[in-house]
Amino acid sequence: MDNRPIGVFDSGLGGLTAVKELLKILPHENIVYFGDTGRVPYGSRSRETIMKYARQDAAFLKTYDVKMIIAACGTVSSVAENLGDGLGVPFTGVLRPTAEAAAKATKNRRVGVIGTTATIRSGSYRRALAEIDPGIEVFDQDCPLFVPLVENGFISEDDEVTRLVAQRYLEPLRQAQIDTLILGCTHYPIIQQIISKTVGKQVTLIDSGRETALFCARTLREQNLLCGREEEGDRRFFVSDQIEGFSKIAGIFLGCDVKNGVSHVDIESY
């Protein structure tokens, strides 16, 4: 049994989709979350910059003696695939758990992938799906406006702006007759109702946050790292920009008040 916290980081709010699932699956675990809100989005950055940011994010989490680190960020998972080397604790991104879930879910072997520009440009999901099942056809599309829309609160199912952007991005995937769609950025499940309406209810959406949380639970169980407490775990949130904006949206999304649990950190010092 191990009562150390699980460390989770993302470029901003998106990683909260993984935290939300962790709270359901592992309610007794302590969680430390870092959202790099001062440098979001990562998806338009160079590979070198993304690697630098990811190393700083992981270094910060390690100061809290975390027992596992989750890069709840599709961009980091796709571009900084070797980040876990040398961390000294179990590590996962969202890429492999999500690709495996999609390969299992598809019936017609036509899988769509949406993500940031950096994620799609990397070809990471294409490679992962090809390793799992070379017969799967992959149709990918970058959706660079989704992250700022989510970060700025345009998340209502009826939001006209987000709906129009989704139609513009997703029409080619609908035309490709995919039956499974990977939400390759952890921001995207926050607007999954809009995405589902756009591509059609018959398309199975693969939530990278949920699949990664399930993988985390399996890893901790297999390595005997689950906590031994019965009470609800502690949750601490850190951001690199203003606390207020994050607290408001995070509270709405997680369904609980996080205002007193959010602190600012100078991530450039790590």
Whether 143 and 241 map to the same domain: the answer is no
Whether 117 and 201 map to the same domain: the answer is yes
Whether 68 and 155 map to the same domain: the answer is no
Cα angle: 33, vertex 228, 21; to 5 degrees: 40
Whether 99 and 202 map to the same domain: the answer is yes
In-domain check, residue 1? no
The DSSP output letter for 177 is T
**Using one digit for the tens of pLDDT, what is the confidence trace for 69-93?**
999 998 999 888 789 998 999 999 9
Whether 120 and 174 map to the same domain: the answer is yes
CA distance 44 to 42: 6
- For the record, the structure tokens of 162 come out as 């987000």
What CATH number does the domain containing 179 carry? 3.40.50.1860
Q: Decide: 216 and 239 in contact? Cβ < 8 Å.
A: no
Whether 120 and 84 map to the same domain: the answer is no
**Using one digit for the tens of pLDDT, what is the confidence trace for 156-191?**
999 999 999 999 999 999 999 999 999 999 889 989
Residues 6+ apart with CB under 8 A from 79: 47, 50, 51, 118, 119, 122, 124
Please tell me which residue in 73, 143, 216, 227 is annotated as part of the active site. Answer: 73
Whether 195 and 237 map to the same domain: the answer is no
CA distance 172 to 99: 21
Residue 49 structural domain: 6-93+210-269
Number of domains in the chain: 2
pTM assigned to the model: 0.87
Whether 112 and 50 map to the same domain: the answer is no
CA distance 246 to 151: 9
CA distance 101 to 6: 22
Whether 102 and 86 map to the same domain: the answer is no
Of residues 227, 226, 237, 240, the one with CA closest to residue 259? 237
* pLDDT number for residue 230: 83
In-domain check, residue 87? yes
**Using one digit for the tens of pLDDT, what is the confidence trace for 34-52?**
999 999 889 889 999 999 9
Of residues 32, 23, 26, the one with CA closest to residue 5? 32
Whether 22 and 77 map to the same domain: the answer is yes
Residue 229 confidence (pLDDT) above 90: no
Is 185 a catalytic site residue?
yes
Q: Which of 193, 208, 223 is the last residue of a domain?
A: 208
Is 73 a catalytic site residue?
yes
CA distance 27 to 13: 20
